[in-house]
Amino acid sequence: MPTRRDTAAIVAGCQDPDVARWTTVPMPYGPEHARSFVDALVGPGWASDREYTWAIRRAGSSLLEGVIGYRTERRDVGFWLAPSARGLGLMHDALELVVTWAFEQGAPDVAWECYEGNLASAAVARAAGFAFTGSGPAANPGRDGGPTPAWHARRRADGAPASDLSWPTASFAHSV
């Protein structure tokens, strides 16, 4: 899990224009935000069984290069990855581990969403076996507090497709 030792890496990751564009991290993002994330969300989330957050690190490295989280109430995942770690399959592997873990905890399914247009995140979800379930408002409001259009997908524990809808675009040229 991310710790205060990861403050600089979290701040650096949240400076990335894609992370800023596709998430609701505060802008500008400073060390105080990273410390608050670790202290108010990560530790308490694990302790309360409300939200589990993992650090993504390359094998043999202590450097945090991304974050993936699973919220138990909505049974959903969210993630970001630093630019230097993209295209290496790290997020795909992390997502597979988290989804498998959620299923082992008894979740019947796991949901995913991203803001409409986030092809990189959608490519990861699609490659991980999530079925596109439609478009609609994001569960979390945008940075301005207003509704944000999102793509939604779900992966079921029993392996059955959650939907027969087609993904909104076939050009998944990027991978997170």
Angle, in degrees to the nearest 10, between helices 119-127 and 90-104:
50
Encode pLDDT of 78-87 as tens digits: 999 999 999 9
Q: 57 is written with which tokens?
A: 């690190």
Whether the per-residue pLDDT at 157 is higher than 50: the answer is: yes
pTM: 0.92
pLDDT confidence band for 143 (50 / 70 / 90)? confident
Q: What is the CA radius of gyration of the chain?
A: 15
pLDDT confidence band for 173 (50 / 70 / 90)? very low
Encode pLDDT of 111-123 as tens digits: 999 999 999 999 9
Encode pLDDT of 40-55 as tens digits: 999 999 999 999 999 9
Cα separations in angstroms, 93 against 89, 103, 115, 161, 167: 6, 15, 22, 20, 21
Q: What are the chain's domains?
A: 4-156 (3.40.630.30)
Classify residue 76 by burial, with Cβ atoms within 10 Å: 0-12, 13-18, 19+: buried
The reported pLDDT for the residue numbered 176 is: 41
